[in-house]
Amino acid sequence: MWAMVAVMAGCGGVGGTPGTDTDTGSSTTGIPGVTSVSAGATETGPTTGSTTDEAVKFDLGGGPGSATDSEGASDTSVCADADVTFEPQIPTVLLLIDQSGSMTTQFGNTDRWEAVYNALLDEDDGLVPHLEGQVRFGMALYTSFEGDQGGECPVITETPPALDNYQAIAASWDASQPEDETPTGESIAAVTPTLVMDPTEGNKIIVLATDGEPDTCAEPNPQNGQEESVEAAAAAFAQGVRTYVISVGNEVSDQHLQDVANAGAGVGPGDPDAPFYKADDAQALADAFADIVDGVRDCKLTLDGTVSEGGEDQCTVYVNGMVVPFGDEDGWQLNNPGEVELVGDACDAIQNGEVQVSIKCACGVVVPPG
The tens digit of pLDDT for each residue in 330-340 reads 999 999 988 88
Q: What angle do CA 257, 262, 263 make, to 5 degrees?
A: 100
pLDDT tens per residue across span 202-257: 889 999 999 999 999 999 889 999 999 999 999 999 999 999 999 999 999 999 99
CATH architecture of 92-296: 3-Layer(aba) Sandwich (3.40)
**Residue 146 pLDDT:** 77
The pLDDT of residue 8 is above 70: no
3-class SS string, 117-173: HHHHHCCCCCHHHHHCCCCEEEEEEEECCCHHHCCCCCEEEEEEEECCCHHHHHHHH
**Residue-level pLDDT at 195:** 97
Please state the rounded mean pLDDT for residues 107-124: 96
| Residue with more model confidence, 20 or 120 | 120
Mean local confidence (pLDDT), 145-164: 88
Average pLDDT, rounded, for the chain: 78
pLDDT the model gives residue 84: 38
Residue that wins the pLDDT comparison between 64 and 182: 182
- Indicate the pLDDT class of residue 294, thresholds 50, 70 and 90: confident
Q: How many Å apart are CA 175 and CA 177, to the nearest integer? A: 7
* Domain residue ranges in the chain: 2-88+299-367, 92-296
**101 has a pLDDT exceeding 90:** yes
Other residues' Cβ atoms within 10 Å of the Cβ of residue 370? 6
